[in-house]
Amino acid sequence: MATETDSQSSSEEIDWRSESSSAEMTRRDRAEEFYRRWVYEPVVIAWSDVRTRLGILILGGYLLMAAVDVFGLWRNPSTNQAPQLLPPFENWSFPLGTTNSGVDLLALIIDSTPFILLMVLAGGVWATSLAVVVGTVSGYKGGRVDTAITSVSDFFMAIPGLPLVIVLAIALSPENPILLGVVLTINYWAGLGRSIRSQVLSIREASYVEASRTMGTSTPRIIVKDVLPNIMPYVMVNFVLAARYTIFASVGLYFIGVLPYTGQNWGVTLNNAYYQGGLFTTEALHWLLVPMIAIVGLAFGLILLSQGMDRIFNPRVRTRLSGESESVEEDENTTTTGMF
């Protein structure tokens, strides 16, 4: 408790960290530095890793599909627009085949891509940003703040996600993709915040954090400058996991038919294929497979991207700016000491 008052009083008195060194940099230098640090290097590092490159390409494909739908470059799905249950890759005006009511499957998939992407983004952003705030503050501040936040997130953690979403879905009937994304991850932040908190707990004992504290740096500044960079790779990976959870949860719930919908989307298509005979004959198998591939593809792209995320934020990789996988290059003798 004593440290808290000490640090506050001293921070008001002087701020000796006035950034005299940066004054020597011109604005142009700074812009260049910023570009190099936040645009050029991440892109080079991301592109140099096969997994991340593949992930970017896959996600780019989905963005393209969304763009195709937004600009209306492909027909809208409607019944009897094509022969029924056409197998894929036979008729090139309907490359992925059709459903049992003659709906173009590719049109179905493309039509719901913007919806799904928006929902996934909303879910991921909501869950991770809330978790980061909650986790860093409660982990770093400790004491009473921690107890209060932990109790609240304990409560939210105690509610199993999907059943809550199911009950909320009846109450709210969310059909807006952003609202749906938020509802789906309504309590995802609690568990994530908890694990961020436990990471912060070990970071707050680090000597550089203690140094900042003794110097009288304010809590928000310490959290942003000293704590956040350490957990950033973890946060980004979890952003992707939250996004993945949003896809899985939404499609799963659409699939078993508990979410309200107006148009079709991947989950609804899967549901229709499943309950209208896709399970019994191999003729309708493509109808079942196409939405599955759409779901798995998106999740796969996200996960591949997250695999390389660690390198983008890892200063050791950045300084080297070498493309090859660090761990793969080193032989067994160096892995043990390879940390430095």
What residues numbered 229-258 form the site for another protein, per CB under 8 A? Answer: 244, 247-248, 251-253, 255-256, 258
**Binding of another protein by 194 (CB under 8 A):** yes
How many amino acids of this chain bind another protein (CB under 8 A)? 72
Within positions 92 to 121, which residues make up the interface with another protein, using CB under 8 A? none
- Of the candidate residues 44, 87, 146, 215, the single one contacting another protein (CB under 8 A): 146
For the bound state, the minimum distance from the C-beta of residue 61 to another protein, rounded and expressed in Å, comes to: 14
What is the length of the chain?
Answer: 340
As beta bridge partners, residue 98 has: 104
**Binding of another protein by 327 (CB under 8 A):** yes
Structure tokens at 311: 């390198």
Helix 177-184 with 105-141: angle, nearest 10 deg: 50
Within positions 254 to 313, which residues make up the interface with another protein, using CB under 8 A? 255-256, 258, 270, 274, 279-280, 282, 285, 288, 292, 295-297, 299-300, 302-304, 307
Q: Is the CB of residue 121 less than 8 Å from the CB of residue 112? A: no
Could you give the string, one character per residue 6-45, with x where binding to another protein holds by CB under 8 A and - elsewhere? -x--------------------------------------
Which residues fall within 8 angstroms of residue 301, CB to CB, at 6 or more apart?
Answer: 54, 55, 56, 57, 58, 59, 61, 62
- For the stretch 203-239, what's the b/e string if a residue is b when 16 or more beta carbons lie within 10 angstroms of its beta carbon? bbeeeebeebbeebbebeebbeebbeebbbbbbbbbb
Structure tokens at 239: 């952003």
Coil, strand or helix: which one is 88?
Answer: coil
For the bound state, the minimum distance from the C-beta of residue 83 to another protein, rounded and expressed in Å, comes to: 24
**Binding of another protein by 335 (CB under 8 A):** yes
Within positions 124 to 143, which residues make up the interface with another protein, using CB under 8 A? 140-143
